[in-house]
Structure 1
Amino acid sequence: MLAKILQPLIVKSFIPARKTLSRKGDNGKVLVLGGNYLYHGAPILSSIAALRAGSDLVYTCVPKINVMSTRAFSPNLIVVPLVDVKLTRGSVQKLLGIIPKELDSATMGMGLGIQDREAIKILIRSLLDRAVMISLDASCLVPEILPDIQDKKVVVTPHAGEFRRLFGEMPPDNVKQRTVMVEKYAKDNGVTILLKGPTDVVSDGTQTYLNPKNIAAMTVGGTGDVLSGVVAAMLAKNKNPVQAASAAVFVNGKSGYLAQKKYGLHIMATDLLDFIPFAMKSFDKVK
């Protein structure tokens, strides 16, 4: 199939207008689930990114050992404690009883410790039953999830190593070969794949978009967590996964470009958060 290079006009068509008379929550209610004792910052980055990308409410679920630091980082976050240090079946059941019934989207896995892989499968199935749009990253990208997400409009956001863990094959460096592989696995598994790299490849097996970034500074840790938050924000507004994921990679890449333009090769992931509004400004629409 013919892959399209993402351009501003394409991306603008993927981001719905914001209604002037909308109320709190109408522009997205998002769940972020991640973090562990070591990686406490990952879900914070995702959550702030989702807010910066236009979500109204973000529920940040982290292990209880991370709750205080997460709340201290920003008063904008609604922090939900995960009762166990790692994800377990019991903590999933308690989480499902706490979070709002009418979430629009969820992004899960960034820095998340998982004790029982069956727990993440239970959570995925429960959220899908509630018609929640889902994006999966990092530790959630394990082969066991594939039967539960097949043909369910789920987005997976691996880098090359996570792609290999999930699908069993390492993506080549060559962009054309890489694209063919992403398209194959997206079609075979009925998912939208966002393969991160110097050129991001997004495909649902039918439509494919490429986002050539080649931004050297974006190798810094945390930029993928920012992307996950933007993906969740886009999924909350556009229920077409390949369009939402494509808009997200473009906005994330543009934010990285603006950060590198200001700071050179010395950016941090938090710098991207500051530039998301500027990256999205030309796509803002109100009706």
Structure 2
Amino acid sequence: MRIAGVEMMREIDRIAVEEIGIPAPVLMENAALACIRNLDLTKGYFVVVCGRGNNGGDGFAIARHLYCMDKEVDVFYISEGSDYKTETRTNFRILKRLGVPMIPLSSETMWSFREALKDADVVIDSLVGTGVAKPLRDFLRQVIQEININSKYVLSVDVPSGMNADNGETMGQVIDADMTVTFQCMKRGFLNYDAMSKLGRVIVENIGIPGPVEAKAEKGEFLTDHALARSLVPLRDKTGFKSNYGKVLVVAGSSGFTGAALICTEAAISTGSGLVTLCSREEVFQSLVLRLKEAMSIHPDDLEDGTGRADVVVFGPGLGAGDVTFDMLLRVIKSMQENGGRSKTLLLDADGLNVLKDRTEILTHLDFNVILTPHVGEMSRLCGLSSEVIQKNRIDTARSFAQEHKCIVVLKGYNTVITDGKTAYVNPTGSSAMAQGGMGDALAGIIGSLCGQGLEPLEAAILGTYLHGYIGDELAGENYIVKASEIIEAIPGCMKRLQDSKR
């Protein structure tokens, strides 16, 4: 699914109407029907609040359909329509001719508006659409405030009125929606953490604009969906053997952080790697000797040998952020440069990222694939921006860093961003039920394993983050919290279901 800002949506609409020839009234009618599909039609009384633009026209069309269903409908509107576009004016006039109750909003009608809001089962917000880019005038802010205070349930059409669709910021006042039905693409601003509490449940509805039209206007930003994840699951050949499914070297763990090494290694095994080797310190192996039954092990003295034989190196979980770790990283990089170049992948997580602070220039000179999996704090140390700035600009920050450093960035968090600098994918799976130690270690092992099984690094990162969160969501349906070990245990079954649905 594509992610769009205001400019992209305007271009999609323009191509659909002017180049393809889809009449604008048809798109408005389809938008109205999409909203009707998402209303609880067992309810009896609806209040529709309409503005001047096409968003208001959608509201007028919704009101007409509700009236035709014998629902009680009151329409409150901002303007008589001298500045309405043709299709909005047409729907306004139809309602007038049908005799649907229509009340212009003003200071004189504010009392009746307030009482209608209190009585309504559902309020439909079609005041201001995607075009708002500056603070709303005082009267609109008052109207929105009245809706927020007095409504039982609000459905917003395309975007909650008062929200900037590009960045999710509030333009003075914003509707607090229970559901947002948006059209064609996920809006970029909806991914802003501060905006999410205002959206309610988000439904993306197709209103009849073909995919190739969207593709002509796209900006290279997508929301990962189940169909994409399923398409990326590697099929296992009936005659395959362990060497066909990748050799993964996990460089992880130190005294007090043995769990990171265990979790990352077991995640790689459970995701389907043919051969997984853990490189760690002696004290780590003493703690894990009875746990690591399916993995091999090597001592750091043999790091170059292990790196040379591996297809993928996952470096960093629990290693410690000192000079010893940085020296190990340099050894890995040198060995990978000398043993295969582009055919190999290096995934850096946790302390593998921390030791790159003020040293990220070394990434731009590598001739093999590199994946970075930072959380926001680690990203802050890598790029020198504050966590607050990064959180407000997650896609742009990740894309810019990936492009500059010629790597793939997996910026973790709710709505994880995966990008190679050219395209960006936002992962919709996962929740705070997964906020447990070891989750990042598991994700690193999953992505590393998928790389070893032949997926391109970007594909592995897309599927790995989706799979990680999807399993977490399934487990969170019955559990208050989800542990990394539970994710690992569920990986084989989930991948089998995805594989079977793909055949």
Tell whether the structures are fold-level matches, with TM greater than 0.5.
yes
Equivalence map 1:170-249=2 (5 Å): 170-172=386-388, 177-249=393-465
Do residues 143 (structure 1) and 357 (structure 2) align? yes
**CA separation of 1:262 and 1:179: change in aligned 2, threshold 3 A:** same
Alignment TM-score, normalising by the size of structure 2:
0.52
Partner of 1:74: 292
Give distance in 1, aligned partners of 2:338 and 2:307. 14
- The 1-side partners of 2:290 and 2:314 are apart by 21
Q: Distance in 2 between matches of 1:67 and 1:250?
A: 31
Aligned: 1:111 with 2:329 = no
In the alignment, is the contact (CA less than 8 A) between 2:268 and 2:449 conserved in 1? Answer: yes
Report the equivalent of 1:95: 303
* Structure 2 SS opposite 1:155: strand
Aligned residue runs from structure 1 range 152-163, under 5 A: 152-163=368-379
- The TM-score with structure 1 as length reference comes to 0.88
- Cα distance in 2 for partners of 1:124, 1:222 equals 25
State the one-letter code of the partner of 1:202: I
What is the CA–CA distance in structure 2 between the aligned matches of 1:263 and 1:278, rounded to whole Å?
18
Contact 2:246/2:454, CA 8 A, preserved across alignment: no
- Pair 1:48-2:275 in alignment: no
* Cα deviations by residue, 1:243-273 (Å, 9 ceiling, x for unpaired): 11111101111121122223222x3211111
Q: Larger RCO: Structure 1 or Structure 2 (Cα < 8 Å, ≥ 6 residues apart)?
A: 1
Query: Can you list the C-alpha shifts for 1:76-120, whole angstroms capped at 9, x where unaligned?
Result: 1212233xxxxxxxx4xx3213x2743111101000034332331
Could you tell me how far apart the structure 2 residues matched to 1:161 and 1:182 are? 13
1:272 alignment partner, one of 468, 475, 487? 487
CA contact (8 A) 1:258 1:275 kept: no
Ranges in structure 2 where 5+ consecutive residues have no aligned partner: 1-218
Q: How far apart, CA to CA, are the structure 2 residues paired with 1:185 and 1:272?
A: 29
- The alpha carbon displacement at 1:145 in A equals 5.2
Mean Cα deviation higher: 167-176 or 192-201: 167-176
For residue 214 of structure 1, report the CA deviation from its aligned partner. 4.9
Deviation at 1:158, TM superposition (A): 0.3
Report percent identity of matched pairs: 26
2:308/2:335 contact within 8 Å kept? no
Are 1:33 and 1:109, in contact at CA under 8 Å, matched by a contact in 2? yes
What is the alpha-carbon distance in structure 2 between the residues aligned to residue 159 and residue 120 of structure 1? 20
Where structure 1 has 5 or more consecutive residues not aligned to the other structure, the ranges are: 83-90
Rounded to whole Å, the distance in 2 between the matches of 1:281 and 1:60 is 26
1:282 partner letter: R
Give the paired residue count: 275
